[in-house]
Amino acid sequence: MKNYITLFIAASALYSCGNSATVEPAGSEWFDNAVDLAEAQLLAAADYCDSTILFPRALKTDYSLEQLTAQMEVPVDSFKPEIELLKHPAPEEFREVSLVGYADWTSGFFPGSLWYAYELTGNEKLKEQAVKFTNRLLPVSDMTDTHDLGFMVNCSYGNANRLAPHDSIKNVVVKTAYNLAGRFDDKTGCIRSWDFGPWNYPVIIDNMMNLDLLFNAAKITGDSSFVTVALRHADTTMKNHFRDDFSCFHVVSYNSDGSVERRQTFQGKADDSAWARGQGWALYGYTELYRNTGEKKYLDHAEKVAKLIIDKNKTDDLVPYWDFDAPAGETTPRDASAAAVIASALFELGAHTDNQQYIRYATRILHSLASPRYLATKGTNGNFVLMHSTGSLPHGSEIDTPLNYADYYFLEALVKYKRLANGESPVIRMF
C-alpha cells in the first residue's frame, strides 16, 4: 500500500517550483485598480461589522417568480412546491447587507479576503482585521454538523498560517479536520454533506473543496487516516458525480449500502444541466487533489473538467451564466463567483501542466471581473468587491448580488496572477 503521507509531501515539493507561464506585469492599471478597490471596500466592511460579531455575506436583492421560472424553463404551476424555500426579502430590505454568524458556511471567506488583500498590499490595518475576524471563527472547531469546515477554516486559519503563523492555528485546523473526517462513512466512501432534506446520504460536489483541510491536518500530525478519507471521497465522487462529458451533478445521494440513491442538481437549472459554480468546484477540487498527491488520474480529470467548462462557457466576457445550460439572453443572471473560482483553479492547473491556454483563459476572466461591468466603485455595493453573482436561483436566494466567496476567489486569483507576473509559482499552500 502506498505511503500517501510521503506521496503528497513529495508532490508538494515537486509542484512548488517554477513554471514557464507568463502574464503581463502585475503593476498594470487594471490590476492596481482592482487591488486598491478591494483594500478600501474590505476595510470599510470590517469597520461596519466590527461591533456586530458577524460576517458580511451578500446583499439582499429582488426577483420575481416569473424570472425564476423563465430561467428554469418550467411553468409557474410546476414550480409552486419550491416556493416555500424562496427567501424573498421585504422591500425595505432590498440592497441591505446580509450578515451571518460563525456557523454559516460562508463565514471563512471574509477573513480570507482580508488575508489576501493584506498579501497584495502589505497594509497592516488589513492584517489586524484579518486576525480579528479569523479569531471569531474559533467556535467552528467544535462543529460536527456540517461538511463546510474546509471553507470556514482553511480560507481563514489556513491563510493566517501562511501570513502570520502561530501554533494555535494548527490546533484549530487539526481539531476541525477530525470533525470533518468524522462525517465520513466507510460504506458510501464519502463525507456526508447535508444533514437536511429528503436524501438518505447526500454528497455535493462542493464537498471536494473541503478535502484540502484534511491534507493540511495530515501534514501537521502525520496521521494518514486524513489522507485515506480524502482519497476515498475523491475517488467515489469521481466515479458517481460525473457524466460522460465530464460535467457533474450537484448532489448524489447514497443508500445505506453505498449504492447510489439518486443524482440531481439542487442549485442549477435541471438535474441534467451543468450548474456553473458546481463545475468550478469540481475543477478546483481535482486540481487540489493533484497538488496534494501527484496522482496523474486527478490531473487528467481536472483537465477534462476544464475542457468541459471552456467548451460550454459561451459568454462574451467569460463570466458564465448561472448555469451553462440556462437560456441565454441579456437578462440571464451571471455568476461572478463561478468565474472567480474557475480563474483561480485554472491558474494552478496551468502551472501543473505548463498549458498556456489555461493561464490565458484565467487572465481573460480576471480582466473581465476587474472591469467596471463587475468591479464595484468605492463605497457602493455594500462594500463588497464584485457585483453580479448568483447563489441559488431555483430557491430565489442571492440573485444578481455580490457574494463574499466571489470576492475571496477573485482576490486569490489576483494573488496567483501577481506571482506569475513575478516569475513565481501561483500554487498556494496553506501549510
pLDDT per position as a tens digit, 233-245: 999 999 999 999 9
Name 87's Cβ contacts closer than 8 Å, sequence gap at least 6.
395, 396, 397
Assess whether 145 carries a catalytic annotation: no
Q: Angle 225-240/4-14 helices, nearest 10 degrees?
A: 80
- Using one digit for the tens of pLDDT, what is the confidence trace for 134-171? 999 999 999 999 999 999 999 999 999 999 999 999 99
Q: Which three cell numbers stand for residue 245?
A: 462529458
Mean pLDDT, all residues of the chain: 93
Answer yes or no: are the C-beta atoms of 290 and 338 closer than 8 Å. no
Taking the CB of residue 3, how many other CB atoms lie within 10 A of it? 11
Phi, psi of 261 (to 5 degrees): -80, -50
Q: Which three cell numbers stand for residue 25?
A: 506585469
Name 182's Cβ contacts closer than 8 Å, sequence gap at least 6.
144
Residue 99 is inside which H or E element, if any?
A: strand 97-100
- Using one digit for the tens of pLDDT, what is the confidence trace for 289-345? 999 999 999 999 999 999 999 999 999 999 999 999 999 999 999 999 999 999 999
pLDDT tier for residue 92 given thresholds of 50, 70 and 90 = confident
The residue annotated as part of the active site, out of 50, 145, 148, 300, is 148
Q: Which three cell numbers stand for residue 152?
A: 470556514
Q: Kindly report the pTM of this predicted structure.
A: 0.95
The string of DSSP codes covering 9-54 is HHHHHHTTS--------TTSHHHHHHHHHHHHHHHHHHHHHTTTT-
Counted residue by residue, the chain has a size of 431
The residue annotated as part of the active site, out of 47, 104, 167, 206, is 206
Looking at residue 321, its amino acid is: Y
CATH class of the domain comprising 4-421: mainly alpha
Answer yes or no: are the C-beta atoms of 169 and 141 closer than 8 Å. no
* 327 secondary structure, DSSP code: P
Q: Which residue has the cell 502561530?
A: 166
3-state helix vs strand vs coil in the chain, percent to 5: 55, 10, 35
Closest CA to 398 of 74, 172, 5, 89: 89
Q: What is the CA radius of gyration of the chain?
A: 20
Closest CA to 399 of 148, 72, 64: 64
- Using one digit for the tens of pLDDT, what is the confidence trace for 50-69? 989 999 999 999 988 889 99
Distance CA(71)–CA(85), nearest Å, equals 17
Domain ranges for the chain, please list them.
Answer: 4-421
Answer yes or no: are the C-beta atoms of 250 and 279 closer than 8 Å. no
- Residues forming beta bridges with residue 312, ordered by sequence position: none
Write down the pLDDT at residue 3: 53
Assess whether 206 carries a catalytic annotation: yes
